[in-house]
Structure 1
Amino acid sequence: MQLPGITLLVIDDDDMVRQSIAIHLEQCGFEVLQASHAREGLALVVSHSPALVLCDLYMSDMNGFELLAQIGEQASETPVVVISDDGVMSDVVEALRLGASDYLINPQADLEVLEHAVRRSLDRAHLRNENQRIRERLELANRELENHLRELRDDQTAGRQVQLNMLPATPWKSDEYLFEHRIIPSLYLSGDFVDYFRVSETQLAFYLADVSGHGASSAFVTVLLKFMTTRLLYEQRKQREQGPIAFQPSDVLGHINRSLISCNLGKHVTMLGGVIDEAQQTLTYSIGGHLPLPVLCVGGKAEYLQGKGRPVGLFAEAEYENHQIPLPPRFSLTLCSDGVLDCVEGATLKEKEDRLPILVGQAGGDMQTFMQLLGLEHAKVMPDDISVLLLSRTP
């Protein structure tokens, strides 16, 4: 049985045919309206919105083709089954062209065929209407998605600008020391960050950080890093108005470690940080779980600095060591995030790490040459954030 509440309309000026059709369709479970004239049927289409219309092709007050056209104008979604005593092919073609869903000849002769045609037309109309609703929902979802994507792009653009504004100038020269950096994000925002700045008249500080993960959440932590180091430097300067500041790399890593854990962001950082003492001609550095290690190049010979330490922001009990080396009159120091190793030839991580100092030595302290050797002279999509911090001393 058809679900109740489905109303059909039969329009036919032959009372016997119309009533025969109506009685059978009512027995099939439909609610059936009847109209003996085309204009009466049109009025019922407007007032009752039947789910389907059956109409005779030839009636006294209106041509069936004209009736089809008017139903199409007033209720375009309503399927119309045309019934006729004749099977003239030209009539069939014209009726279908005007939107009829089916064409039946002598329907009262086989009412089961009539019922089947009605149910088939209703199913097609239901499917068409459902597809239309799905298209409308998809169009709405697409519009909402486009709006969200536009907002996301705007947010990312703003975030990217904030991140760029936090980065130091490159290149930056301070007396004999030249600092340069390159950051290539795997996404629009980077989880890698570098900074370098003058601590006092005789001290220069720098660090490279690689935040776990990618995208906006990792980029947010780089903002925190900038704030933490700036705040720590401010506090140190308040305590010492003149002269060198006790800005030890291990203290910086320890301070950031405690702060990240207390923030409970679920993020950790691998870091390399150092302070150059121009008066003593020394470099003091500390390592927070970062690989690859810094590469020192002197006289064309490049080798890793030694040291180790736990990642920053994971272990509350973590302690960080300071390592100190004398600085030669001429040298370069290259710090890289682990994303750089994706650009180095080698079948294993060990082979890549062994080759990195060779590339640093070939670059000879020149950032552009080093990026060319890595194949990064042109922007490209990489699987991980890439950052390089290169400092050199040329008296």
Structure 2
Amino acid sequence: MASPNSLLMTEDEQARDFLRGVLSKHGFQVILASTGQGGMEQFSPGLFQLVVVDLQLADISGLEVLRKVKRLSPETAVIIISDSVEMDDVLQTIRLGACDYFRKPIEQETLMDRAICRISEAENLAQQNREYRQALECRNRELSDHLELLRRDQEAGRLLQQHLLPRTPYRYPGGVEAAYFLIPSLYLSGDFVDYGLFGERFVAFYLVDVSGHGVSSALVTSLVKHSIMHCLRERPLFTHPEFLNADLLEMLELINRELLSTPMGKHASMFVGVIDTAENQLLYSVAGQIPMPVLVSAGDAEWLAGKGRPLGIFERGDWQVMCVELPSRWQLVACSDGVLELLQGNLLEKEAQLLQLIEESEGELEQLRKSLKVDTFGALPDDITILTLGHK
């Protein structure tokens, strides 16, 4: 490793010889200059660790040399030597960035030793800080790259999850129209909906709300979708009116088993139902659903009845299959519990507000969405999903 350089500017031979000896003892290579102009011609940033300047130079003031050095290389240490003990001179040198001030004649070597040690310690600390800053900048770049990769992965997951969702709105034979609005609080949603036509007369549907939100909850919604599709490939569901009750319970039992068997510790609420368009009937089951679904007809909105435990917690859910006779015109509205976070008050007050908004909107999805002010709410505390089915 090369020895550090020092630049000594003075025409005082006694001071020059003394300082050259002290600096050499500390391992410095000493470059001499008798004038300020001559010294500045040799100076360049990064070349010298230490500059010693006589305040009384023949050509230009030592203060002017100090200004030039600090302007070119602020990190270079500068020591001022002078015949003067005027306080103004001392204050000026300190203000301009000198690290020490010595009065000539300089005879105590220990004072200079201490000054050089302080400079070396400061230089070492500055070097450590530079290395730490460089390492921190490197880690920040790595973190930024990882975050960007995560963002792209989540964006890809969001697009995939959207691809798994059904078309909205969609009108089935018999006049039943299904639609939904789903917006995740993060990139991915723990809510999911699906619907489809079976046996030319049965419109089956479900809304599932997995605990939490984000990637892990979204993965569970994919598991639910996969499990149901696998079940449908194994045997036909919702194809005969005599088996609709059993089909609904089989779906709940299937998802319950899947959640209990996964190590993710997730549970879910679910509303699953089937509309028999030939008989104008709604058969449904709820599993821990909050808020309960709402049926709107003749201008009135009413909560549907029913109870059942959430999925993924208990071996048996005690789910019920309920049956409702549908009028000629009706609208069914189901919401995930994130909708309640958009309202004020306790749970009962929020449910009362929601029921009123559904009634005022007559269960129409877009009107209800506007009434809930979903698009202007800001950062959403939870995933928001509204599922509607209706016949006009």
Could you state the TM-score of these two structures normalised by the residue count of structure 1? Answer: 0.78
**Greater alpha carbon shift after TM alignment, 357-366 vs 268-277:** 357-366
Number of the residue aligned with 1:195 = 194
Matches within 5 A, 1:1-395: 17=15, 20=18, 31-33=26-28, 35=30, 37=32, 52=50, 54=52, 79-83=77-81, 101-106=99-104, 108-175=106-173, 176-237=175-236, 246=243, 248-345=247-344, 347-376=345-374, 378=376, 380-394=378-392
Q: Answer yes or no: is the 8 Å Cα contact 2:7–2:33 preserved in 1.
A: no
Aligned residue for 2:255, secondary structure, equals: helix
Counterpart CA distance in 2 for 1:184 and 1:338 is 13
Aligned residue for 1:108, secondary structure, equals: coil
Counterpart CA distance in 1 for 2:123 and 2:149 is 39
Q: Gaps spanning 5+ residues in structure 2: where? A: none
Counterpart CA distance in 2 for 1:170 and 1:270 is 22
Counterpart CA distance in 1 for 2:182 and 2:139 is 36
Q: CA deviation at 1:70?
A: 12
Q: CA deviation at 1:206?
A: 0.7
Aligned residue for 2:232, secondary structure, equals: helix
Counterpart CA distance in 1 for 2:70 and 2:355 is 78
Q: Answer yes or no: is the 8 Å Cα contact 2:80–2:100 preserved in 1.
A: yes
Q: CA deviation at 1:185?
A: 1.6
Q: Answer yes or no: is the 8 Å Cα contact 2:20–2:30 preserved in 1.
A: no
Q: Answer yes or no: is the 8 Å Cα contact 1:276–1:284 preserved in 2.
A: yes
**Greater alpha carbon shift after TM alignment, 104-113 vs 210-219:** 104-113
Counterpart CA distance in 2 for 1:217 and 1:333 is 29
Identical counterparts, % of pairs: 38
Instruction: Rate the CA distance shift 1:69–1:376 in 2: closer, same or farther, 3 A.
Output: closer
Instruction: Supply the AA of the counterpart residue of 2:204.
Output: A
Q: CA deviation at 1:245?
A: 9.3
Over residues 164-215 of structure 1, what are the superposed CA-to-partner deviations in whole Å (9 max), with x where a residue is unaligned? Answer: 1111111111021011111122122211111111122121111111111121
Q: Answer yes or no: is the 8 Å Cα contact 1:254–1:320 preserved in 2.
A: no
Over residues 84-104 of structure 1, what are the superposed CA-to-partner deviations in whole Å (9 max), with x where a residue is unaligned? Answer: 55789999979997x864453
Q: Gaps spanning 5+ residues in structure 1: where? A: 1-5
Q: Answer yes or no: is the 8 Å Cα contact 1:199–1:233 preserved in 2.
A: no
Counterpart CA distance in 2 for 1:169 and 1:36 is 81
Aligned residue for 2:139, secondary structure, equals: helix
Counterpart CA distance in 1 for 2:51 and 2:214 is 58
Instruction: Supply the AA of the counterpart residue of 2:106.
Output: Q
Counterpart CA distance in 2 for 1:377 and 1:121 is 61
Could you state the TM-score of these two structures normalised by the residue count of structure 2? Answer: 0.79
Instruction: Rate the CA distance shift 1:331–1:107 in 2: closer, same or farther, 3 A.
Output: farther
Counterpart CA distance in 1 for 2:89 and 2:346 is 77
Number of the residue aligned with 1:3 = none
Q: Answer yes or no: is the 8 Å Cα contact 1:190–1:385 preserved in 2.
A: yes
Q: Answer yes or no: is the 8 Å Cα contact 1:82–1:95 preserved in 2.
A: no
Counterpart CA distance in 1 for 2:65 and 2:33 is 7
Counterpart CA distance in 2 for 1:196 and 1:383 is 26
Instruction: Supply the AA of the counterpart residue of 1:160.
Output: R
Counterpart CA distance in 2 for 1:281 and 1:236 is 25
Instruction: Rate the CA distance shift 1:84–1:114 in 2: closer, same or farther, 3 A.
Output: same
Q: Answer yes or no: is the 8 Å Cα contact 1:156–1:189 preserved in 2.
A: yes
Counterpart CA distance in 1 for 2:384 and 2:31 is 81
Instruction: Supply the AA of the counterpart residue of 1:226.
Output: K
Counterpart CA distance in 1 for 2:366 and 2:270 is 24
RMSD of aligned C-alpha atoms?
A: 4.2
Counterpart CA distance in 1 for 2:106 and 2:309 is 89
Q: CA deviation at 1:373?
A: 2.0
Aligned residue for 1:121, secondary structure, equals: helix
Counterpart CA distance in 1 for 2:346 and 2:377 is 25
Q: CA deviation at 1:252?
A: 0.6
Over residues 334-391 of structure 1, what are the superposed CA-to-partner deviations in whole Å (9 max), with x where a residue is unaligned? Answer: 101111112234x321122233222222111311221222222557322111110011
Aligned residue for 1:195, secondary structure, equals: strand
Q: CA deviation at 1:154?
A: 0.9
Q: Answer yes or no: is the 8 Å Cα contact 1:10–1:33 preserved in 2.
A: no
Counterpart CA distance in 2 for 1:322 and 1:110 is 99
Query: Size of the alignment, in residue pairs?
Result: 379
Q: Answer yes or no: is the 8 Å Cα contact 1:281–1:327 preserved in 2.
A: yes
Counterpart CA distance in 2 for 1:36 and 1:296 is 93
Instruction: Supply the AA of the counterpart residue of 1:229.
Output: I
Counterpart CA distance in 2 for 1:181 and 1:322 is 23
Over residues 56-83 of structure 1, what are the superposed CA-to-partner deviations in whole Å (9 max), with x where a residue is unaligned? Answer: 68999xx999999999999986534354
Instruction: Rate the CA distance shift 1:94–1:138 in 2: closer, same or farther, 3 A.
Output: same
**Greater alpha carbon shift after TM alignment, 212-221 vs 349-358:** 349-358
Instruction: Rate the CA distance shift 1:123–1:245 in 2: closer, same or farther, 3 A.
Output: farther
Instruction: Supply the AA of the counterpart residue of 1:300.
Output: G
Aligned residue for 1:391, secondary structure, equals: strand
